[in-house]
Amino acid sequence: MPVTDSPAIYFDGHTAGRREVLVDAGADLHGLRIKSVEGKTIAVWRFENIRLAKDSGSRDKPVLFRIVDGAEERLVLQDVEILDVLRPLCPQLMRTDVDVGTYSRIAKWGVAAVAALGLMIFVIIPMLANTLAGFISPAREAAIGRGVINQIEWLLNEGSDDDWTCTDPAGQAALNAMMARLMQDRKADYDLDVRVVDHSMVNAFAVPGGHMVFMHGLIDQAETPEEVAAVLAHELGHVVARDPIRMTLRAAGTAGLLSLAIGDATGGTIIAVAADQALTSSFSREAEAQADRFAHQMLIDASVPPSALSLMFDRLRDEHGDVEGIAEHFASHPALGDRIAAAVDATPKDFVSKPILSDQEWADLRGICDDN
């Protein structure tokens, strides 16, 4: 059914003036004819060029435009039923027109974005972090480390005001003796400080500036001083490699880069957090493996069998289970099974070991927190 003299509002695309017009459309015409109220033709839009503005918030006033170079007119139909006539006549009424070359632009910038993120995260930021770490003086790094320990204490000690560092002098002396025996004539960049804190968690960690912290739970769990020595050797590996300060700088750079790419207020946040976790742990797993290798050598030099490390890991595995498969990529440490095997492999046959502590010293170390 053709349309004649249907009212519409016409904007010519050159000025902001509005003009009342009449519209004709029908199968015998090749396009939509726009006329002045006096009946003079203003324009004819070919049907295949006509598009309807989508997702309209004023449903009774559909807006038409045409895809022709340089044409910026708008036609607002006053009678919404005309759309039913136009639909069969205008095969591309609802088409979304995409400029030529759009897809190759998406591909080009997509590759550029991935490359920029990859280059920053895997090359430039680690390089920058390593270089800048070299400019941080040992004294400053020690101060940074004290700040970190205080923050951790505040977090883990549940805000309690009691000093959580264990201070028994004999215990501390035993710990220092153990470290001296491991270090032998090796040099570190800063004064080493190892302490035990009164916390039941089975854990130990190194923070910037040569500070190492043992949670008392770990010493409780260990059956021999060699197991503690093995963990200490591992932490010394981190300290000698300056891992903590490099990791801190690196994390500062990469933090947020991934959430930038994926994050939005919806489900993307979950993915971003998981991806960030996977990424930082892949860095630290590399460092962990290196610290393990350092510890094996250090233990051999000190006549302690590296397999002591595996005994400690065995205990950890019994207590916490192991990470394997997909989960392994999200864990900050390599799978315990691999580390146990590596520690056992590192122990030479016919290894002659010497006790790292005397029985008295070991008793002192176990009792280091008794005064707390």
Partner 1 sequence: MSDLTPETIQGRYNGEGKPLFWLALKTTALTILTLGIYRFWAKTRIRRYIWSATAPGGDTFEYTGTGVEKLIGFLIAIVVLAVYLGITQVFLMFFGFSLMDMATGPDATAAETLAGALVTYITLLALTPLIFFARYRARRYMLSRTRWRGLRFAMDKAAFQYAWRGVLYFLFTVISLGLLWPLMTFNLEKFKTDRTWYGDAKFEQGGKWTMLYPAMKHLFIGVAIAVVGSGIGIAADVPVVFGVSFFVGYIWGAIGFVHYRTQSFAIMARHKTLDGEIAFKAAPQTSEVVIKYILGGLLVGLVFAVLFAPVVFATSYAFSSNDMELLIGAQIFIILGYLLSLILSGAVAIAFISQPILRHFVETSTALNPAHFDTIRQRIGDDMADAEGFADALDIGGAF
Shortest gap between Cβ of 131 and partner 1 (angstroms)? Answer: 10
Shortest gap between Cβ of 30 and partner 1 (angstroms)? Answer: 24
Q: Counting contacts by CB under 8 A, is residue 121 touching partner 1?
A: yes
Q: Counting contacts by CB under 8 A, is residue 56 touching partner 1?
A: yes
Question: Minimal CA–CA distance to 227: which of 116, 308, 320?
Answer: 308
Shortest gap between Cβ of 282 and partner 1 (angstroms)? Answer: 17
Binding mask 168-207 vs partner 1 (x if CB under 8 A, - otherwise)? ----------------------------------------
Rank residues 39 and 70 by Cβ distance to partner 1 and give the closer one. Answer: 70
> Which window, 140-148, 179-187, 274-282, 334-342, contacts partner 1 (CB under 8 A)?
140-148
Rank residues 234 and 242 by Cβ distance to partner 1 and give the closer one. Answer: 242
Q: How far is CA 303 from the centre of its chain?
A: 41
Rank residues 134 and 169 by Cβ distance to partner 1 and give the closer one. Answer: 134
Using the Cα atoms of residue 348, residue 355, residue 180 and residue 310 in order, give the sign of their dihedral: positive
Q: Counting contacts by CB under 8 A, is residue 134 touching partner 1?
A: no
> Which window, 23-31, 120-128, 338-346, 354-362, contacts partner 1 (CB under 8 A)?
120-128
Shortest gap between Cβ of 59 and partner 1 (angstroms)? Answer: 8
φ, ψ for residue 211, nearest 5 deg? -90, 135
DSSP secondary structure letters along 31-78? EEEEEETTS-EEEEEEGGGEEE-SS-S-TTS-EEEE--TT---EEEES
DSSP secondary structure letters along 316-346? HHHHH----THHHHHSSS--HHHHHHHHHHT
DSSP 369: T
63/56 Cα distance (integer angstroms): 8
Read off the tokens for 109: 């910038």
Shortest gap between Cβ of 281 and partner 1 (angstroms)? Answer: 19
Q: Counting contacts by CB under 8 A, is residue 326 touching partner 1?
A: no
φ, ψ for residue 364, nearest 5 deg? -60, -45
Tell me the angle at which helices 307-320 and 268-301 cross, rounded to the nearest 10 degrees.
150
Rank residues 53 and 327 by Cβ distance to partner 1 and give the closer one. Answer: 53
With CB under 8 A as the contact rule, the residue among 138, 253, 337, 367 that binds partner 1 is 253
With CB under 8 A as the contact rule, the residue among 42, 67, 85, 261 that binds partner 1 is 261
Q: Counting contacts by CB under 8 A, is residue 255 touching partner 1?
A: yes
Q: Counting contacts by CB under 8 A, is residue 116 touching partner 1?
A: yes
